[in-house]
Amino acid sequence: MTSLIAHLTVDCVNAFTLAEFWKRILGYTEVPGDPNQPGDPECLIQDPDSGQRLLFLEVPERKSAKNRLHIDLRQRGGTRDEELAVLQAHGAAIVADHRGSTGPGTGWVVLADPEGNEFCLLRSAAEVAAGQPTDRLIPPDFVAPVPPDTNDFVFERLGPEHNEADLAAWTSSIPFIKSLPGWATSSWPGRVFTPEENLADLVRHRDRHGQGRDFAWTVLDPRDRSRVIGCVYIDPDTTGAVQAVVRSWVIAERAALDAPLFRHIDAWVGVAWPFASYSYAPR
């Protein structure tokens, strides 16, 4: 036996005022035969099409912490930014702006209603569809997993937060990395990057990972997670011989870990990824 959600209840100080705010931004109506009046301790509104309901219930306590449950909005028409202007005109306030967080045209905005309850404004369905890259390596509904940690390796999605440790790691081992299987014909690593250049490269990796175009994980020392000891990449095969190319490296100081990293990642890719074929230079 299962249950249905009858309505979502929002604790508040002024039920009528908050119900009126949400009526305007959602296009909801009052429930027939149950009109809301100023001073009502409970106010119920509903979607006229689906019947989905929101109940605003007055309580003595004011909001004191971040909501553990929040509403995500996707506009019925127009764009995210057009809807943002409408929400602000109705009294919503921006709490955090994450537009462009994973590339141009991406992201969302966190807002608060007149009593400080957070909610998010997403891109429209049309904006999401238009923003999908045409060179995705994985299906749109596949969520890229993270390699499982071991006693020798801890994995995190590569990003700008790793800049200093990543730059120190690979620049300490350029000749060794070039000697590893799969790296001899690569243009990277070559000259030493400036911190700014390396940061830009990590931002690129983060964005392309989020877009499903290619993937990279930094490899951290389990005994000192601030230290980068390697990296793992999954890229499309530009030759067309296979679907994906997997490569990895470790720093020269941890050369003995190169083969164990290969075995761990090769086994993981084989079972966790939907590739018809891939290559990974053996050790």
Q: Which pLDDT tens digit goes with each residue over 216-237?
A: 999 999 999 999 999 999 999 9
pLDDT at site 65: 80
Residue 141 pLDDT exceeds 90 = no
- Strands of the sheet containing 93-97, edge to edge, are 71-73, 118-121, 109-112, 93-97
Residue 103 pLDDT exceeds 70 = no
Structural domains counted in the chain: 3
127 within some domain: yes
| Domain membership of residue 174 as a residue range | 154-280
Same domain as 238, residue 266? yes
pLDDT at site 121: 95
Quote the pTM value: 0.57
138 within some domain: no
Burial class of residue 139, CB neighbours in 10 A (0-12, 13-18, 19+): exposed
Same domain as 114, residue 210? no
CA distances from 263 to 222, 242, 247, 248, 255 (A): 18, 19, 12, 11, 14
223 within some domain: yes
pLDDT at site 126: 84
pLDDT confidence bin for 115, thresholds 50/70/90: very high
Residue 104 pLDDT exceeds 70 = no
Same domain as 158, residue 225? yes
Residue-wise DSSP of 114-154: TT--EEEEPPPHHHHHHHS-TT-SS-TTPPPPPPPP-SS-E
% of the chain surpassing 90 pLDDT:
76
Any idea which residue has 């530009």 for tokens?
Answer: 238
1 within some domain: yes
Start-to-end CA span in the chain (Å): 54
Any idea which residue has 């009593």 for tokens?
Answer: 115
